[in-house]
Amino acid sequence: MEQVKGYVEHIIYRNGENGYTVMNLVSGEEEIVCVGNFRTVDQGEMLEISGNYIEHPVYGMQLKAESYQVAEPDDELSMERYLGSGAIKGIGAALAARIIKKFGKDTFRVIEEEPERLAEVKGISEKKAREIAVQMEEKKDMRSAMVFLQKYGISNVLAVKIYNTYGSEIYSVMKENPYRLAEDVGGIGFKIADEIARKAGIHTDSDYRIRSGILYILLQASAEGHIYLPENILLERCMDLLEVQQEAIAPQIANLTMDKKVVVRHSGEKWVYAAPYYYEELNCAKMMHDLNIPLQEGGWLPSEEKQIQKRIEGLEKAQGIKLDELQKRAVMESIKNGVLILTGGPGTGKTTTINTIIRYFAEEGLDIFLAAPTGRAAKRMTEATGYEAKTIHRLLELNGASMEEKRSAKFEKNEENPLEADVIIIDEMSMVDIHLFQALLKAVIPGTRLIMAGDINQLPSVGPGQVLRDLIDSECFPKVMLQKIFRQAEKSDIVVNAHRINEGKEPAMDNKSMDFFFLERNDANVIYKHMIQLIREKLPSYVNAGSFDIQVLTPMRKGNLGVEVLNGILQEYLNPPDAAKEEHPYGNGLFRVGDKVMQTKNNYQMEWEVVSKYGIPVDKGLGIFNGDMGVIKEINDFSQEMVVEFDERRRVSYPFHQLDEIELAYAITIHKSQGSEYAAVIMPLLSGPKMLCNRNLLYTGVTRAKYCVTILGSRQMVKEMVANQYQNKRYTSLCHRIKEMAVISGKQQ
């Protein structure tokens, strides 16, 4: 058994579920790759590890930890880490080590009082010695703070953020309430703050700890799509997390309410909101109420309505189409009202209806803006209408002036600088969360027509809320639900089967179809083989598309047919190792030039550029978003960067430390496929948890395919998914807020 002492320089990979971690440990001048269960360990911590060295076939020598304990960093190590952190220009890790080796614990005194002695160290001239001394004097307070923070296992990166936030107040914050870090400093959540507080000797039943825990639970709930939590559920989750009694939690909810950090509302039961989410819903309800106005005072005369109907008939002739009654009603409602909700499944004529609406207003000479939540959905909208559609972020002119941790988007278009449009049409509304909806509404002035289209049966947004469903359920806005499947669409078994699934009927699995196939395979290894065969050989020519346009969709991340396993297998066959292709190990796998990848979180500050074939930039902008897909073009070990090209030839350089934002995308979850369309879809369905494998998910997966769907797996599994209507309930209250607004104003549809 080996005993090693050192500090965590970098966490390469961590499994959030079981705590399995791969990390770099610096011990003296040696850098060691350590693997094991380090659930709570963070960068910068000093550890004493017991374990054995093992030889990994791909990643080489590793120390497999059996046990570890957190050790106090000695003063010399703290000094060395500070000097080598980049805080002092001209000193890197190697030079810092030489300085400490020369002067030991006396280093800082020497720099302050006898700086000329630094020239005794190889690589430091007298001039450089003076420059170092000046910097040390200027950053004396920061240096002291960083050395102080290292005792709590805080990395240099976080230490700088903490110091920049609090300055000299840092010592009282750490002593009295380290939980402030979770609220005030980007990159520090409750769990890190809790670990710091434990080291600082803060008691488990501290008021500060409980209050911070409540806010953390509400934040976690928003990641599940919730706007609020019923008080009983909040209390249960808090007791599990904090390991304190309910009696200690309830008073702190009241205290947070008084501090305006949370809002409590009564609706038969107590609903507890993180304050920003409550006011987002309230604002959206108020703004929707203000937009929801008839666009002609006193209503429309019968003769005027007749005139509109004649113009609609003229548009039908011009386009060579025939609208059904619901479609005509949708066009009429869009003309008469400030707000219209248009919903319907595939093949029900949403696109035709939107095209007619666009052409009507174009003839009027009105300014029309089209947008969708994702780049892919916007591209589809452009192709379907012939008018340019943008992402909602681009429409609102994302400016990148966001919070430090890139969690918050800032837009140029807002209530002070609204969109100069007469008509705004938003597609794929089911994907719009409450944050984006509020940002959009702020930029729309009353009198502008807002038309929102989407499929109510698609999965809800990744972010918090269920905006489209709440708008429809409120029954306060003009809406048209298209139901008829048009004759042209009836020829597509994708469309027919999608509607069958939605109605709770089994899709036709007799393989008499030209675009919907079912291959019964009850062994995961057999499914892998057929999947590779379909992607490489059968489907590209069948759908006239490249292998990267064929998408594997699966309900799960884990398991034999989960995203993680499938991506490893598909990478091996679709983009095999090649001496000419650079690679970079990451986590339990690796990235390779030519890999298909996907962005996994919204990054509002990520810069992209479009370059010509001669390498000259022709466009640039900000923002890469959750679900954006691309291909790895370059991996540069020297500059520690990876270049990914996304749709529309947008190129992004990812520093290696930011690779946690992307993952392989040969296979993705059905959730991640929302708003996208692929030439062909393959769905491996063999088994899975009930909460994931439901009708809603199957319907969404099937409707992502343009030309062909192939299900590989168990007939019984498909039947169970169709029968399973289970959906995770989302705690949202936009519907309630809208109804309240309608009652107050006396205006309800």
| Coil/strand/helix, residue 136 | helix
User: How would you classify the pairing of strands 20-27 and 30-37?
Assistant: antiparallel
Task: Look at residue 380 in the predicted model and tell me its pLDDT.
Answer: 87
pLDDT digits 0-9 by tens, 439-476 = 999 999 999 999 999 998 888 888 899 999 999 999 99
pLDDT at 156: 65
Per-residue confidence band for 129, with pLDDT thresholds at 50, 70 and 90:
confident
290 HSE (CA, 13 A, CB side):
13
Question: Contact, 81 vs 156, CB < 8 A?
Answer: yes
Q: Any idea which of 382-396, 543-557, 609-623, 673-687 has the lowest mean pLDDT?
A: 609-623
Q: Please, are residues 623 and 603 in contact by the beta-carbon 8 Å criterion?
A: yes
Q: Is the pLDDT of residue 593 over 90?
A: yes
Residue 405 confidence class, pLDDT cut points 50, 70, 90: very low
C-alpha span between 14 and 738 (Å, rounded)? 42
Quote the pLDDT of residue 86: 64
Mean pLDDT, rounded, for 351-375: 93
Q: Which pLDDT belongs to residue 404?
A: 40
Q: Compute how many other C-beta atoms are within 10 angstroms of the C-beta atom of residue 625.
A: 20
Residue 172 in 3-state DSSP?
Answer: helix
Please give the biggest Cα pair distance in the chain. 96
**Cα–Cα distance between 707 and 720 in angstroms, integer?**
25
- Per-residue pLDDT tens digits for 2-19: 899 887 877 888 776 667
Mapped onto helix, strand or coil, the DSSP state of residue 710 is: strand
pLDDT for 297 equals 66
Tell me: pLDDT of 749 over 50.
Answer: no
**CA distances for 300 relative to 17, 272, 332, 333, angstroms:** 60, 44, 11, 11
Of the candidates 493, 478, 436, 486, the residue with the CA atom closest to the CA atom of residue 461:
436
* pLDDT value at residue 115: 85
Map tokens 């190697």 to a residue.
Answer: 94
Average pLDDT over residues 252-279: 94
CA dist 228 and 275 (Å) reads 10
- Among 71-85, 172-186, 603-617, top mean pLDDT goes to 603-617
What are phi and psi for residue 443, nearest 5 degrees?
Answer: -95, 5
In the predicted structure, residue 403 carries a pLDDT above the cut 70: no
C-beta of residue 302 within 8 angstroms of C-beta of residue 289: no
Q: 406: pLDDT confidence band, cut at 50, 70 and 90?
A: very low
Res 17: pLDDT = 64
Which residue did the predictor score with more confidence, 245 or 615?
245
31-89 pLDDT, tens digit per residue, is: 899 998 886 676 666 788 999 999 877 778 899 998 887 665 566 777 777 777 666 77
Report how far residue 625's alpha carbon sits from residue 409's, in angstroms, rounded to the nearest whole number: 11
Question: Which of 44-53, 162-171, 587-596, 720-729 has the largest mean confidence?
Answer: 587-596
Ramachandran assignment for 153, one of left (phi > 0), alpha (psi -120 to 50 degrees), beta (any other): left
For residue 580, with 0-12 CB atoms within 10 Å meaning exposed, 13-18 middle and 19 or more buried, which class applies? exposed
The crossing angle, in degrees rounded to 10, of helices 493-502 and 695-702 is 170
Residue 702, judged by CB atoms within 10 A of its CB (0-12, 13-18, 19+), counts as: buried
| Core vs surface per residue 41-74: b (16+ CB within 10 A) or e | bbbbbbbebebeeeeeeeeeebbebeebeebebe
Measured CA to CA, the distance from residue 312 to residue 323 in angstroms comes to: 9
Find the distance separating the first CA and the last CA of the chain, reported in whole Å.
74
Q: Note the pLDDT tens digit of each residue in 531-569.
A: 999 999 999 999 999 888 999 999 999 899 999 999 999
Read off the pTM: 0.76
**Residue of 681, 16, 563, 579 lying closest to 571 (CA atoms):** 563
Select from 255, 230, 84 the least CA-distant residue to 156.
Answer: 84
DSSP 8-state secondary structure symbol assigned to residue 548: G
**Is 153's pLDDT higher than 80?**
no
Q: How far apart are CA 55 and CA 733, in angstroms?
A: 55
**22 contacts 33 by C-beta, under 8 angstroms:** yes
> Cα–Cα distance between 667 and 136 in angstroms, integer?
51
Contacts of 507 (CB under 8 A, 6+ apart): 497, 500, 501, 516, 518, 702, 718, 722
Interior/surface letters 158-188, b for 16+ CB within 10 angstroms, e for the rest: bbbbbbebbeeebeebbeebbbbbbeebeeb
Alpha helices in 575-724 (DSSP H): 695-702, 715-723
User: Which residues touch 479 (CB under 8 Å, ≥6 apart)?
Assistant: 340, 341, 342, 343, 471, 472
Helix (H) or strand (E) run with residue 544 in it: none
Q: Residue 124: how many CB atoms within 10 A of its CB?
A: 21
* 438 strand-pairing partners: none
pLDDT in the model for residue 536: 92
Judge whether residue 401 has pLDDT over 60: no
Q: How many residues does the chain have?
A: 749
3-state secondary structure of 599: strand
List Cα–Cα distances, 475 to 469, 650, 735, in angstroms.
10, 41, 9
Assign 402 a pLDDT band (cuts: 50, 70, 90): very low
Q: Which of 3-17, 401-415, 602-616, 720-734 has the lowest mean pLDDT?
A: 401-415
What secondary structure letter does DSSP report for 538? Answer: I
Distance in angstroms (rounded) separating the CA atoms of residues 601 and 137: 40
